[in-house]
Structure 1
C-alpha cells in the first residue's frame, strides 16, 4: 500500500508550527493542510482515514498523500482545541456529553472497516515477558484510543472532529468510551487532574459520557475491570516505549507518567465499586 504523492499548489505557503500533543513533533500547518511525520502506524491510519472519507464521516481529517519532504499531508480541521494550560471549559458537562456522542459516531462510522491484509497496527509497545495481559475481550472495531483534550476539535461548544489517529488499533468497544473517560472525567488520582478538572464528581462525569455514547449494559459492567487491566499494562508499555523510542515517550516517563499510572490503578481499586454502581444504575 503506497501513499500517493501530494501535489503542492503553485504558490508556496509558509509553514506554521502547531503545538499540542505529547509525542509527535514537527507538526506544521501549510495553508489548508497539516504536515506530520509519517509514524509507525501510518499504513493503518491512512487506510482508516480513507474509509472514514468513503463513508462520509465528517469528524476526521482527510489523508491527501505524502509531500516531497516525506511528511503525510492531511486537511486542516478548523475549530477550538484545549491546549495547555487547559481552559476552564474542559469541565463543562454539555461539552463532555458531546465528546461521548462524537466517540459513538466515530465508532459507528468505523464499524465496517477491517484492517487491510498485510497491515499491522504498529503504534504500541512490543510484547515482552512480564507484561500484564490485555483485557481478554475480543476486538470489535479499530478504535481511535487517544481522546485527549488535545485531539478533539470543538465548534460552537460541541465536539466536532477528531485528530491524531496515531494510536488507532483494534479494540473491544468498551475501550473507546473508557479512553474518553480517562481524559475527560478524569479517571485517576484527583491530584493528577488538570486544574479545571479537580474536585469534580468523576462517577457522574463517567455516567454522562456513557449515556451520551450509548454504552450497553454489558460494557458498563465490564468497564472497571478493563480500566484496571489497562492501567497495569500501560505502566509497562509506557516504560518500554520510553526505552525503545525515546523522544516524547521518554520525556513523559521522566516527567512521572509511570507514577501517575500507578496512582490511577490504586484509585480504580479503591473507587471501582462506586464507579460501577453509578454506571449501571437504572
Structure 2
C-alpha cells in the first residue's frame, strides 16, 4: 500500500545508533524500507490484532518508498531518561511487557515469502523475536504507555535470546563502573520473576547472558572488518570494546547469576 498525502515538513529523528534517514512527518515516522519490511509490517499488524499495543502501527509505504509507522509521542529511555529504570517496579514492568509481546507473537504465522533482516544468529528459533529489546528502543509515551520501537531487525529467534539482551541492557549488566549496580543480581531475579521464567528456563538463561553480549561484539567486529556502515563507525567509537567488556563482566559472575535465579 502506498500512501497519497499532502506536503508536510520532515523532522529528522535522533536516537539509537542506526537512525540515519528516519524522520517524523506529522504524526508518522518514515524510514528506509527493505526486503524485510512486508514481513515486519505483517508482524506488527498481527500484534495489534491480538491486542498488543506496545508497538507502532504500520501504515504502508509513502510515495518515496519509505515505510510509514505511527509516531509515538514521548521520550526514548536511553540515554537521558534511563533513571526511569531505577526502581524495581520499572524492571517488573518492562519484563512483563516483553512477556506480553512474546505471548502475543506466539500465534503469528509469517507470510510464506517472509524475508527478515537477520543481523545476529540466535541461539534457537521458537518465535519471531524483536532482537533489540533495549532502552534505546523503548519510548515512555506522553500518555503513560511504554512502546517498543525499531522492529526492522525482527526475525526468527527465541524468547530467552530476546530476554538475555533485555536483561543485559535494562538491569543493566555492565562492566562500566558508571552503570554497574550493586543490586544487579536482585534485579535479574525481579526480571525473571516478572517474566514468569520456570526453573529450566532460568538455568538456560544464565549462559545466554554473556553469549548474547559477546555476539554483539563479534557482529560489530565482523561488520567493521568488512567496511560496512554504520557498524564500522560504531566499532571505531569503541562500541565493540564495550560489548566485549560487558560479556567478560557477565561471564565472570555466571555463578552469582545462577545462585540468585535458582535461590541456591
When normalised by structure 2's length, the TM-score is 0.90
Give 3-state SS (helix, strand or coil) of 1:174's partner. helix
Within-5 A mapping of 1:247-266:
247-266=229-248
Within-5 A mapping of 1:153-232:
153-155=139-141, 160-191=146-177, 195=178, 197-232=179-214
1:7 is matched with which residue?
A: 4
For structure 1, which runs of at least 5 residues remain unmatched after alignment?
128-133
| Matched length | 264
The CA distance in 2 between the partners of 1:40 and 1:249, in whole Å, is 20
1:130 is matched with which residue?
A: none
The CA distance in 1 between the partners of 2:142 and 2:21, in whole Å, is 29
Superimposed CA distance per residue, residues 225-281 of structure 1 (whole angstroms, 9 cap, x where no aligned partner): 222333443322222233446332122111112212221222122100111111122
Superimposed CA distance per residue, residues 95-130 of structure 1 (whole angstroms, 9 cap, x where no aligned partner): 2211111101111111111332222322316x8xxx
2:47–2:105 CA contact under 8 A, matched in 1: yes
The 3 A distance-change label for structure 1 pair 159 and 253 is farther
The 3 A distance-change label for structure 1 pair 198 and 266 is closer
For structure 2, which runs of at least 5 residues remain unmatched after alignment?
none
When normalised by structure 1's length, the TM-score is 0.85
212-221 vs 229-238, which deviates more? 229-238
152-161 vs 220-229, which deviates more? 152-161
Larger RCO (alpha carbons 8 Å, 6+ apart)? 1
The CA distance in 2 between the partners of 1:106 and 1:213, in whole Å, is 11
The CA distance in 2 between the partners of 1:177 and 1:144, in whole Å, is 10
Within-5 A mapping of 1:47-66:
47-66=42-61
The 3 A distance-change label for structure 1 pair 160 and 66 is same
219-228 vs 83-92, which deviates more? 83-92
Deviation at 1:86, TM superposition (A): 4.5
Deviation at 1:171, TM superposition (A): 1.5
Deviation at 1:85, TM superposition (A): 3.7
Deviation at 1:67, TM superposition (A): 0.8
Within-5 A mapping of 1:103-118:
103-118=98-113
The CA distance in 2 between the partners of 1:229 and 1:120, in whole Å, is 25
Give 3-state SS (helix, strand or coil) of 2:42's partner. helix
Deviation at 1:60, TM superposition (A): 0.9
The CA distance in 1 between the partners of 2:245 and 2:12, in whole Å, is 34
Deviation at 1:40, TM superposition (A): 5.3
Aligned alpha-carbon RMSD (Å): 2.3
